Structure 1
Amino acid sequence: MGCDGGTIPKRHELVKGPRKIEKVDKNAELVAQWYYCTLSQEKLSRPIVACELGRLYNKDAIIEFLLDKSSDKVLVEAASHIKSIKNVIELNLTDNPAWTGDKGNTKGDKYDDIQSARFICPVVGLEMNGRHRFCFLRNCGCVFSERALREIKTEVCHKCGTSFQEDDVIVLNGTKEDVAVLKKRMEERRMKSKLVKKSKKSKATETTVTSDAVEASAKPSQANDGKDATVIKSGEKRSITFCKGTVNESMSSSSGNDNRNAAGTSKRSAASREEKSEAYKSIFTSHSSAKRSKEESSNWITHTAYYF
């Protein structure tokens, strides 16, 4: 059982045991979560946004993702809960005055301190490097450490003064339990917004239906108000005016006789009036001079084409 050179192998060299679970480097994991965009895997640069699950993104990466979703499946799954730009909140971060960035490391001969972060908590002064838990407010986007919110209990933002509730506090890069709680809150919030939109739409449709009904009922009355309806009966033109429940009727005729009828006169009454002269009365057939006997009256003959 010996190999070349007379060596004798041991058991652990011949029998292969189970593979050891590879441990992820915590420092590398923290750097990937707090210094790089979750979607594009590029360094975080302002404007920086966060989703309702507490993940950090570059805003331009989110916009590109929403415009074109034909990217890598792994990245799409990481941002599948983002349906629009309204689902992310732009963060109001506080710069770290002690952070120099990559200015002094151009030649690669300087130690890159991972513990030094670009942003800090404006209340306590802790660096946002993943060693401490950080939160942001969904209403205003201000970022604080969890220690500051726990020690200084208030319902108003420490930085901008915006009021908030406990449900508005979102943990950045939290644990699996934190993500599960945030996901449940996100689903409840979206369901409420959908119900509110449905109720608004139903109210809008009801108001439009009622307004249409009111207009339809008002149109006939408005059409009759201030307008004249004409009725022709027995050779006379009768105009009826509708105005606010009262009916005013005026009689008018289309010929010269209609004008006499409108003045309230008739053939007999005009001839029998005393104030009129005899010459005027003799015009009418009701006058005594116009009355003739049958002998005095002549026979009228109508000439037609067949008479000759």
Structure 2
Amino acid sequence: MGCDGGTIPKRHELVKGPKKVEKVDKDAELVAQWNYCTLSQEILRRPIVACELGRLYNKDAVIEFLLDKSSEKALGKATSHIKSIKNVTELRLSDNPAWEGDKGNTKGDKHDDLQRARFICPVVGLEMNGRHRFCFLRCCGCVFSERALKEIKAEVCHTCGAAFQEDDVIVLNGTKEDVETLKGRMEERRQKAKLGKKAKKPKAVESVSKPDVSEESPGPSKIKTGKPEETSLDSREKKASSAPKSAAANGGSSGKVGKPLCGATKRSIANSEESEAYKSLFTSHSSAKRSKEESAHWVTHTSYCF
């Protein structure tokens, strides 16, 4: 039977009963929630931020997570709702004067009291160790106990004086019910922000696409209503009528006779009203008609021989 050496087995060693449900130590759970970062599992150090679901993080760990969103990274699902640094709020915490930290434990032989909290409520003085419910304001980041907000009801922050609403109050490390309500508020807030951005985009596009009516687009009086064929015929007639006028103007101003038009009669230069100096340039002038005696036989006045 395997009982060599005189050993006697007991009933619980031979008969397997139902497994006992392992209970989580509440004190250890509170220490992990309020003293350690949810993402990196390191001790919380300033600057400390909180998400819209009320979880605490180190700001450096959140920035590293946003820069490197790899699937292999541990605890990525816990921060899947954090899309940018705007989704977290930096907390304004009040130090606990009774907390010494690691100052007296220089040799490592002193017991650290983890039940003593580093931060307290600035209004009531309760320690932020998980025994009491704490919350922060999303608009300014100030942290208070829930008892302080209930006892001293105000629409203004007790520390900085910033105005807030009920939606701005977020419970830190709340229960499952608190997380579900905060998640619903977060989704509604993000949907409103998306709708607001979509409503602003068409207005901006219309303002850019609409040009100035006076400069670019012609008015109804300036638009031509005539047919293209009629306009082309009118333009041809105007060009034909302007051509002889320009030719006559050029000939009168320069003093030179151009080519005669198709319908004009030919006139001799001798009978024209030009000057004698201009007429003497041509062979039809009387000065060009010389006798053979007046001119040498090897020289000719014109380009042809007599």
Cα distance, 1:255–1:122 mapped onto 2, change above 3 Å: farther
Query: 1:164 maps to what in 2?
Result: 164
1:218 partner SS: coil
Query: 1:99 maps to what in 2?
Result: 99
1:2 touches 1:8 (CA, 8 Å); kept in 2? no
Identity percentage of aligned residues: 74
Match of 1:147, as an amino acid?
A: R
Query: 1:174 maps to what in 2?
Result: 174
- Write the deviation string for residues 135-161 of structure 1: whole angstroms up to 9, x where unpaired: 000000000000001111111000000
Shift of 1:8: 4.8
1:219 partner SS: coil
Name the TM-score, length of structure 1 as normaliser.
Answer: 0.70
- 1:219 aligned onto 2:216: yes
- 1:61 aligned onto 2:61: yes
1:123 touches 1:148 (CA, 8 Å); kept in 2? yes
1:34 touches 1:129 (CA, 8 Å); kept in 2? yes
1:28 partner SS: helix
Select the structure with the greater relative contact order (CA < 8 A; seq sep ≥ 6). Answer: 2
Shift of 1:4: 4.1
Shift of 1:74: 3.9
- Write the deviation string for residues 266-299 of structure 1: whole angstroms up to 9, x where unpaired: xxxxxxxxxxxxxxxxxxxxxxxxxxxxxxxxx9
- Write the deviation string for residues 12-51 of structure 1: whole angstroms up to 9, x where unpaired: 3311111111111111111111111111111111110000
Shift of 1:110: 1.9
Alignment RMSD (CA, Å): 3.2
Match of 2:24, as an amino acid?
A: V
> In terms of Rg, which structure is larger?
2
- 1:118 aligned onto 2:125: no
1:39 touches 1:57 (CA, 8 Å); kept in 2? yes
- Write the deviation string for residues 169-215 of structure 1: whole angstroms up to 9, x where unpaired: 00000011100000010000000000000000011112223x32xx2
2:31 touches 2:115 (CA, 8 Å); kept in 1? no
Match of 2:61, as an amino acid?
A: A
2:50 partner SS: strand
Match of 1:129, as an amino acid?
A: N
Shift of 1:301: 4.3
- 1:150 aligned onto 2:150: yes
Of the candidates 232, 236, 242, which is equivalent to residue 235 of structure 1? 242
Match of 2:163, as an amino acid?
A: S
Name the TM-score, length of structure 2 as normaliser.
Answer: 0.70
Cα distance, 1:64–1:2 mapped onto 2, change above 3 Å: closer
Query: 1:285 maps to what in 2?
Result: none
- 1:31 aligned onto 2:31: yes
CA distance in 1, matches of 2:119, 2:15: 51
1:49 touches 1:58 (CA, 8 Å); kept in 2? yes
- 1:187 aligned onto 2:194: no
Where in structure 1 do 4 or more consecutive aligned residues deviate above 6 Å?
Answer: none
1:57 partner SS: strand
1:2 touches 1:9 (CA, 8 Å); kept in 2? no
1:49 touches 1:56 (CA, 8 Å); kept in 2? yes
Match of 1:195, as an amino acid?
A: L
Match of 2:216, as an amino acid?
A: K
Match of 2:90, as an amino acid?
A: E
Match of 1:218, as an amino acid?
A: E
CA distance in 1, matches of 2:269, 2:249: 26
Answer 1 or 2: which has greater strand percent: 1
- Write the deviation string for residues 244-286 of structure 1: whole angstroms up to 9, x where unpaired: xxxxxxxxxx95999xxxxxxxxxxxxxxxxxxxxxxxxxxxx
Match of 2:130, as an amino acid?
A: G
User: How many residue pairs get matched?
Assistant: 240
Cα distance, 1:101–1:256 mapped onto 2, change above 3 Å: same
CA distance in 2, matches of 1:153, 1:103: 38
Query: What 5-or-longer segments of structure 2 have no aligned partner?
Result: 220-234, 253-265, 271-303
Shift of 1:105: 1.1
2:37 touches 2:56 (CA, 8 Å); kept in 1? yes
CA distance in 1, matches of 2:29, 2:68: 28
Query: 1:134 maps to what in 2?
Result: 134
Cα distance, 1:90–1:208 mapped onto 2, change above 3 Å: same
CA distance in 1, matches of 2:41, 2:71: 13
